[in-house]
Amino acid sequence: MYIKTLTVSALNNYIKRIIDSDIILNNVSIKGEISNFKLHSSGHMYFSLKDDLSKINCVMFKDRARSVNFAIEEGMKVEIKGRVGTYTKEGSYQLYCDEIKKEGLGDLYQAFLKLKDELKLKGLMEEEHKKPLPPYPRRIGVITSSTGAAIRDIINVSKRRNNSMSLLIYPSLVQGKDASENIIKGIKALNKIKDIDVIILARGGGSIEELWAFNDEKLAYAIFNSKVPIVTGVGHETDFTIADFVSDRRAPTPSAAAEIVVPSLENLNNEVDSINSILKDRILNILKENKFQLDLLKRNLDYNSPKNYLINEYENLIRLKQSLNTSILRKIDYEKNKINNLNSLLMAHNPLNILNKGYAIIKNEEKVITSKEEFNETMDINIVLKDGEISGTFISK
């Protein structure tokens, strides 16, 4: 049998013609659950419609999207009318939506909300149980896929912020039935390493099915019981999982988780420079204040110096000495004058002066004889004249 060789474009165009000519595919009504919903800035809606076994990508252009009168939410059950078409550039097919009717929340999303409420009632999401993140971690544990974009983003951000930061990667499944158990083993393993300061649990974005491993109850308890603080960076900014609510800090993306955990070396250096500048200013201010106080104390010390006191007292001593000498001289002069006066008075009344007038003094060995009755018949006497004494013996006749 001859087989014609086609180009890729020819094959995709052939498939497109088959699908476009199919009556059923051009007018279908499908029930399913909304997943991975995105509202583009252009007004177009992009999402997936899924059930338990399969999913199909969907697009609803702006002119049709205007007719939707309710907010489309993740996990919502809907009934969609539209047509199946091909996107030949990518070789894919998708559902082009004309109408959307709401049926309710999907089973997975309902299970998510139920588990969230249960764990919240048990206190696993309370702020008081959340462990503080270390401001300057030395070693960071990372649990994620070794081949995904998340690990590359975390490494790039970490190197940019602090090239000396140490990362320990624990490769783990982040999607599928064994992913939750794999992640739990990673948390336990990193908790046994003493120098791990914080753990990043991360994966890239995806639908609710792809992120379902992070909505596991056992994983929630493993995060809650971890002695090492855990930061989650799961999916995109609009994606929330049970792990995010239980973790010590939720980041909108893996890159943001690295931004939160890894301190910026530049910021640290700026902070150190700022603190150093503040410290220098404070030291200078303290030195200035202490110098001022020292100068003040020195002035007080100089003012009250014993040296000045001694100098003043020495001067007082000289004055006292002079005053004393003056007083002594005055006293001596006074006493001399007094003595001279007494001497003059004494000389004036000196009985010896009368001898100059021709008188004499008669004495015996005991006393001056002033009466004749004192003379014995014979006695030794002295006669004091003005120019000397004469000794002799008195004989009575």
pLDDT per residue rounded down to tens, the chain (397 residues)? 567 788 999 999 999 999 989 989 999 999 999 999 999 999 999 999 998 889 999 999 999 998 888 888 888 889 999 999 998 888 999 999 999 988 766 678 888 889 999 999 999 999 999 999 999 999 999 999 998 899 999 999 999 999 888 999 999 999 988 999 999 999 999 999 999 999 999 999 887 788 899 999 999 999 999 999 999 999 888 788 999 999 999 999 999 999 999 998 888 888 889 999 999 999 999 999 999 999 998 888 877 777 777 777 778 888 888 998 999 999 999 989 988 888 888 777 776 777 777 777 888 877 888 787 777 777 888 888 878 888 887 777 6
Which SS3 state, helix, strand or coil, does residue 122 take? coil
Classify residue 249 as left (phi > 0), alpha (psi -120 to 50) or beta: beta
pLDDT of residue 104: 63
pLDDT of residue 154: 94
Q: pTM surpassing 0.75?
A: no
pLDDT of residue 305: 75
Report d(CA 249, CA 231) in Å as an integer.
5
Q: Is 102 exposed, middle or buried (0-12, 13-18, 19+ CB in 10 A)?
A: middle
* Chain centroid offset of residue 179 CA: 40
The runs of H, that is alpha helices, within 38-148 are 62-65, 107-121
What type of residue sits at position 131?
K
The torsion angles phi and psi of 39, rounded to 5 degrees, stand at: -105, 110
Closest CA to 108 of 175, 35, 55: 35
- Domains belonging to the chain, first-starting first, are 8-105 (2.40.50.140), 123-263 (3.40.50.261), 351-395 (no CATH)
Radius of gyration of the chain (CA): 62
Would strands 139-144 and 92-105 be described as parallel, antiparallel, or unpaired?
unpaired
pLDDT of residue 304: 78
Q: Under a CB-based contact definition with an 8 Å cutoff, are residues 387 and 374 in contact?
A: no
The runs of H, that is alpha helices, within the chain are 8-20, 62-65, 107-121, 149-161, 179-191, 217-225, 242-246, 254-261, 265-303, 306-348
The torsion angles phi and psi of 244, rounded to 5 degrees, stand at: -65, -40
pLDDT of residue 148: 85
Which SS3 state, helix, strand or coil, does residue 74 take? coil
